Structure 1
């Protein structure tokens, strides 16, 4: 177990629930149970996000990274499916996809604040890098995420992961949360670890709009986003790996996925 807020029975039940939810929802989609194009997009978004939540839950449960990798690699097909169903929206309704595919400057989607799509994107990339996904797989993920030249942090991360021709935006979608992390890219080497330590200290408190904030206190789950999957600052481990920052320079923290940091 990597997580200490829930016991093994909780995660064992949760992982079964995720498998059932993914399989049954995908079958319903394939069988045409959802009649409107926008409803099918909603369902595809749910499947994509559930796939990310499942991978994170396996990490929290304590699975070997080789086993976590399997579930991380299964995220991309769900994201491609979301794009395919967005492409099928009627022309007058194409704007509807923005709330699901654009990571900043959009309204809520199915009751979920837009920053959630941004966070889950960073987590996905973090897990791909930590689990040593093939470069072709990472390239496909970056291509479908898009957003080139729109967010400094995402641009810096994408360039480090292989999108070397990418333009870099001067702006951040969510500076109130991510400015400190982004500053790490331009800081002097001796300042980088201090910035990462500063970032994680305020990370959770500043993410009150995240669907999963305070989910460890939720006993009755009414939506799939209510489930507690663990609080992990994966974006910090990703940046630490990109900048080759040694884990020994980071202050121990309950939300730091220390075993994902390579150095």
Structure 2
């Protein structure tokens, strides 16, 4: 167990439940149970996000990184499925896909603000990098995520992961939360650990009114799939630390730091 906020029994039950949820929802989607194109997009988005949540939950449960990697590799096909259903939206409804594919702005989709898709995208990239997934797979992920030249943090991360011709934005989608992490890329080696420490010290609290999963460890009766507790991990920090070769010895001892994903 890497996570101590929930019991082993909780995660063992949850991992079964989330797998059943993904399988049954996918079967219903393939069976044509959702009659409108927008409902199919909604459902494909739900499955894609559940796949990310499943990988995080396996990490929290304490799975070996080779096992976590297997679930991380299964995220991309669900993201491709979401794109395929978005492509099938009627031309007058194509704008609807923005709420599912855009990572910035004030839009929301199925009651979830865009910042959640931004966070899950960073987590996905962090898990890909931390689990040492092949470059060809990462290239496909970066291509489908897109957003080139729109967010300086995402742009710097994507360039480091292989999108070398990517333009770098001078602005952030969510500066009130992610400015310290973005600043690490322009900081000196001596300044980088302090900025990372500042970021993780404020990360969870700053997302109180933003992230769907905030305070989910206190929820007993789940009404939405986003209410389920999967673990609180600042994967964004491990990703940036790895990219910039910041050693784990210079980082704080923090309960939300995924220390075994940091390579140096």
1:183 maps to 183
Alignment pair present for 1:27 and 2:17: no
**1:229 maps to what in 2?**
230
Residue 251 of structure 2 is matched in structure 1 by 250
Distance, in Å, in 2 between the alignment partners of 1:55 and 1:176 is 27
- Please give the alpha-carbon distance, in whole angstroms, between the structure 1 residues aligned to 2:73 and 2:58: 13
- Which SS does the other structure have where 1:190 is aligned? coil
Map Cα deviations across residues 192-246 of structure 1 (whole Å, 9 max, x no partner): 0110000000000111210100000000011110100000000000000000000
Q: Kindly state the Cα deviation for residue 104 of structure 1 after the two structures are TM-superposed.
A: 0.3
- Flag structure 2 segments of 5+ consecutive residues without an equivalent: none
Counterparts of residues 108-123 of structure 1 (less than 5 Å): 108-123=108-123
The residue number in structure 2 matching 1:129 is: 129
Q: Distance in 1 between matches of 2:135 and 2:48?
A: 21
* C-alpha RMSD of matched pairs (Å): 0.4
Quick check: 1:149–1:166 contact (8 Å CA) kept in 2?
yes
Q: Is 1:99–1:106's contact at 8 Å kept on the other side of the alignment?
A: no
CA distance in 1, matches of 2:206, 2:197: 15
In 2, the alpha carbon distance for the partners of 1:184 and 1:107 equals 28
What is the CA deviation profile of residues 131-172 of structure 1, one whole-angstrom value per residue up to 9, with x for unaligned ones? 000000000000000000000000000000000000000010
- Compute the displacement of 1:105 (Å): 1.3
Distance 2:29 2:109 in 1: 19
The answer to whether the 8 Å contact 1:98/1:106 transfers is no
Match of 1:216 in 2: 217
Task: Give the whole-Å Cα distance in 2 for the aligned partners of 1:234 and 1:105.
Answer: 22
Aligned partners of 2:13 and 2:71: how far apart in 1?
17
Answering whether residue 171 of structure 2 is matched by residue 152 of structure 1, we say no
The unaligned stretches of length 5 or more in structure 1 are: none
Give the aligned partner of residue 39 of structure 1. Answer: 39
Q: Which residue in the other structure is 1:200 paired with?
A: 200
Is contact 1:200-1:233 (8 Å) kept? yes
Distance (whole Å) between structure 2 residues aligned to residue 23 and residue 176 of structure 1: 37
Given the two structures, how large is their TM-score scaled by the length of structure 1? 0.99
User: 1:8-87 maps to which residues of 2 (within 5 A)?
Assistant: 8-87=8-87
Partner of 1:177, secondary structure, is helix
Instruction: Report the alpha carbon displacement of residue 106 of structure 1 after superposing the two structures with TM.
Output: 4.0
Larger mean Cα displacement after TM superposition, 102-111 or 57-66: 102-111
Say how many residue pairs are matched: 263
Q: How many angstroms apart in 1 are the aligned matches of 2:26 and 2:106?
A: 27
Moved over 6 A (4+): none
